[in-house]
Amino acid sequence: MALGRALRKAGDNDAATAAFEKAAALVPIAHGGNSPHAQMAQMALEKNDRPRAIAELQALVDADFDNVEAARVLAKEMRQAGIDDPAKVRAVNERIAAIDPFDGEAHTVLGRLAMQRNDTDTATREFEVVLALGPLDPASANTDLAESLFKAGKTADAKKHTLAALEIVRRHIRAPRSFAAVGGDAPLNRAAIVAAAALLVTLIDRPSPVRCRDSGAAHRDRTPLAANQVAAVTCHSPDSISGSSVSRWRASCAIGSPCPTARTSALPKSLN
């Protein structure tokens, strides 16, 4: 190690690398910033040799469990190198989250990986953690959570977080300076905006689960109409966001049958 450091200081990186490789072979569990793998990773980064840097950082992380900075650099270099192997990306981000549970970026990556494998429970849990940590990009955080909730069939909660994401965008556009003053200084994520808007369109266009009911007061004290009888009814489509009815109309349909045109077709005034 002493020889390697001296050679590196003298500018002879090739000889220094050879010395560090011998040291790593002799003490493979060495860890810390002065370990052989850490030294070789730094030299590789200085030369923009990303494949070698990733290999050395991976070896360092394997030997040094608590080295969160090495894990973060490894995750960054893997991302910039376009490495998207779910197993490799998941392993390094799980290590980061295990050492520092307040690392929102690691939880975001883990949540998105969970979405890829259709594990909506894990994805929702990870995205809820991100939102609870107060992310710099709350619009993206709400959009991620909304997508996981939607995929899990929890449309009411999905709507809430989709609208929250779009409300953040609206406030950012209308008053960027005042929005930045309260901590919303992260640039808007265009991909998150598009995803939130697309999800909202999908949610709005989904048929409402409401059913037609008799609106006549006279029927309250009388035997209910048979299921196949037709009566003038008022269809109500409850808005799960505000708790009020967003659409009401008169229709003729069988009592107890789904409203033929029931769709949640109105937005809260805040987005108009």
Residue 246 pLDDT > 60, yes or no?
no
Greatest CA separation found in the chain?
Answer: 99
Model confidence pLDDT, tens digit, residues 130-150: 999 999 889 899 999 999 999
Residues 225, 255 contacting (CB under 8 angstroms): yes
Residues 148, 111 contacting (CB under 8 angstroms): yes
- For the chain, the average pLDDT equals 74
Model confidence pLDDT, tens digit, residues 39-87: 999 999 999 999 999 999 999 999 999 999 999 999 999 999 999 999 9
Burial class (CB in 10 A: 0-12, 13-18, 19+), 136: middle
Residue 240 pLDDT > 50, yes or no?
no
40 CB neighbour count, 10 Å cutoff: 27
Confidence at residue 235, expressed as pLDDT on a 0 to 100 scale: 41
Residues 178, 237 contacting (CB under 8 angstroms): no
User: What is the share, in percent, of the chain residues with pLDDT greater than 90?
Assistant: 40
Choose among 260, 255, 235: nearest CA to 247.
Answer: 235
Choose among 178, 200, 193: nearest CA to 267.
Answer: 200
Confidence at residue 228, expressed as pLDDT on a 0 to 100 scale: 41
The residues with which 211 forms a beta bridge, in sequence order, are 258
Residue 24 CA to residue 137 CA, distance in Å, equals 41
Q: What pTM did the predictor assign?
A: 0.67
Amino acid at 79: R
Q: How many CA atoms lie within 13 A of 91 on its CB side?
A: 11
Cα Rg of the chain (Å, integer): 28
Confidence at residue 236, expressed as pLDDT on a 0 to 100 scale: 40
* Token reading at 149: 């909730």
Confidence at residue 58, expressed as pLDDT on a 0 to 100 scale: 95
Residue 210 CA to residue 229 CA, distance in Å, equals 18
Confidence at residue 248, expressed as pLDDT on a 0 to 100 scale: 36
Choose among 101, 120, 123: nearest CA to 110.
Answer: 123
Residues 266, 239 contacting (CB under 8 angstroms): yes
